[in-house]
Amino acid sequence: MNVLNNVCAVLVITLCAAGCATPAPGSNQVRATTSLDDVGGCTLLGKVFVSDGPDAEKSARDKTASLGGNVLLRKNDQVWNGNAYQCPAAGH
C-alpha cells in the first residue's frame, strides 16, 4: 500500500508540473516584418539563416521561435533570413 501511495504522489506531482509549464512560442506565433520600427524596444536574440525554397518561411519562423523570439526582422521581402527578436507585445 505504501508503494501505491508513493506512485500516486509522483503521478500527481508530475501532472501538476507538466500542466504548469509554459511552452516556448511556436512558429505560428512569430510575426515577420521588414520594418526596423517594429522591433524598437525589443531584445535582439540572434541571426536567422534559412535556405531558399518552399519551406523557407516555416524554417525561419521555427528558428526564431527556437531562439525564444516572437518577431523576425527579415532583410527584405525576397528572403526569410534576418534577426530574431523578443518583443513585449508582438501582435500578429
CATH of the domain at 43: 3.30.110.70
H/E run at residue 32:
strand 31-33
Q: How sure is the predictor about 7, in pLDDT bands with cuts at 50, 70 and 90?
A: very low
Residue 67 lies inside a defined structural domain of this protein: yes
**pTM higher than 0.85 for the full model?**
no
Count structural domains, the chain: 1
Residue 13 lies inside a defined structural domain of this protein: no
- Name the phi and psi angles at 53, rounded to 5: 145, -175
Give the structural domain span for 61.
26-86
Residue 8 lies inside a defined structural domain of this protein: no
86 bridge partner residues: 43
The pLDDT value recorded for residue 3 is 52
Residue 5 lies inside a defined structural domain of this protein: no
pLDDT at residue 41 is higher than 60: yes
pLDDT (average), residues 26-33: 86
C-alpha cell at 23: 511552452
Residue 62 lies inside a defined structural domain of this protein: yes
